[in-house]
Amino acid sequence: MAEPVLEIDNLSVRFNLKRGVLRAVDGVSLSVGKGETFGLVGESGSGKTVTARSIMRLIKTPPGEIAGGTVRFEGRDIYQMSDAEIREIRGQHIAMIFQEPMTALNPVFTVGNQIGDALRTNMGLSKAEARERSIEMLQLVGIPSPAARIDNYVHEFSGGMRQRVMLAMAMSCDPTFLIADEPTTALDVTIQAVILELITSMIERFDMSLLFITHNLGVVAHACDNVGVMYASHLVEMGTKAEIFSNPQHPYTKGLLRSIPRMDAQEKFLTPINGTVCNMMDPPQGCKFHPRCEHTMDVCKERIPEFRELSPGHFAACHLHDQPTV
Ligand code: SF4
């Protein structure tokens, strides 16, 4: 197994709201090795994005709060770092791209100014050097005529081209780790495939690690080595891509797999998962998936299942895998 670059151990994040406490992430542990790609999958509201933002220490406090656990990057505890240290990590070591590029890119500056600014601040380049490197990066991500487009504003680019610009900005300071939070969700299907291909080729080219957040298992199948499935703030299954796709062990993962279109499928229709994600202000007792699960037992309504290793590297949290008591 590759040397771990990112290690999340028992992370819990909550939001103290007027209406009550929202436990957005509850006891999540995962690790991403050097050069590995990890896909974190789940429906909206499962806690994927909060997990990603916690890595970058981007949770607004208050109302947010890291309620427990650690995040280590290259062996260093992110939560023990000074503000200057975490700024250095964000600029030079971990980069993040988002679903909607307009939230990350500033509409009142040219893209050249924005990429160049990051290069001057984080890498100490001169204005001319930063401009040259920005053009190189735009070319690398497939922006046509980069020397001319560098002086354009964000609104002069299409959605797919904006995502390329954001990728150029993220990669410009040679980070070793990329967090991609639903980077293809807002794009047309045809452009999604192109951007996905671009991200995976950049990861390989720069020998980076990737944490890919998505609700789409089809995307994970294309881009990731390992997969974690989140449901209602918990990690419910984790393993290699091959294990998750060929031997899923959690009813939620099985439901997700049944609900994606497959070229080799025998059935004519997709099977949705019953019901909707629970209200996280008032989640059900026991296994949070039990109101939607077709295998619910009494114990499921009482106790949260343990996240246990079922075979080397393959974990799931489900009472169906409890050892019989003698
Ligand atoms: Fe279903 Fe029970 Fe397993 Fe939860 S613990 S997924 S309710 S069988």
The phi, psi pair for 211, rounded to 5°, reads -110, 115
Q: Kindly list the distances between the CA atom of residue 100 and the CA atoms of 128, 130, 178, 185, 192, in Å, as whole numbers in the listed order.
A: 29, 25, 16, 8, 13
Ligand 1, residue 250: give the atom nearest the CA: 6
Per the structure block, which two tokens stand in for 288? 């949070």
Report pLDDT for 23.
93
Report pLDDT for 262.
67
Ligand 1, residue 295: give the atom nearest the CA: 8
Distance (angstroms) between ligand 1 centre and the Cα of 234 equals: 13
Distance (angstroms) between ligand 1 centre and the Cα of 195 equals: 36
What is the value of pTM for the model shown? 0.91
CB distance 236 to ligand 1 below 6 Å: no
C-alpha–C-alpha distance, residues 41 and 212, integer Å: 8
Residue type at 176 in one-letter notation: T
Strand, coil or helix: 325 = coil
CB distance 162 to ligand 1 below 6 Å: no
- Residue listed under structure tokens 């026991």: 286
Residue 182 near residue 99 (C-beta atoms within 8 A): yes
Residues in Cβ contact with 180 at an 8 Å cutoff, skipping those fewer than 6 apart: 96, 97, 199, 210, 211, 212, 213
pLDDT tens-digit readout, 151-201: 999 999 988 888 889 889 888 888 999 999 988 777 777 778 888 888 888
CB distance 299 to ligand 1 below 6 Å: no
C-alpha–C-alpha distance, residues 244 and 250, integer Å: 9
Q: What domains can you pick out in the chain, each with its CATH number?
A: 4-93+175-321 (3.40.50.300), 94-174 (no CATH)
Distance (angstroms) between ligand 1 centre and the Cα of 290 equals: 6
CB distance 319 to ligand 1 below 6 Å: yes
CB distance 251 to ligand 1 below 6 Å: yes
Ligand 1 pocket test: pick from 237, 252, 287 the residue with the most ligand atoms within 8 Å of its Cβ.
287
Report pLDDT for 324.
66
- Residue listed under structure tokens 């290259």: 74
Residue 233 near residue 47 (C-beta atoms within 8 A): yes
Report pLDDT for 272.
81
Segments of the chain with pLDDT less than 50: none
pLDDT tens-digit readout, 6-35: 999 999 999 999 989 999 999 999 999 999
Ligand 1, residue 296: give the atom nearest the CA: 7
Residues in the chain: 326
CB distance 318 to ligand 1 below 6 Å: yes
Ligand 1, residue 297: give the atom nearest the CA: 2
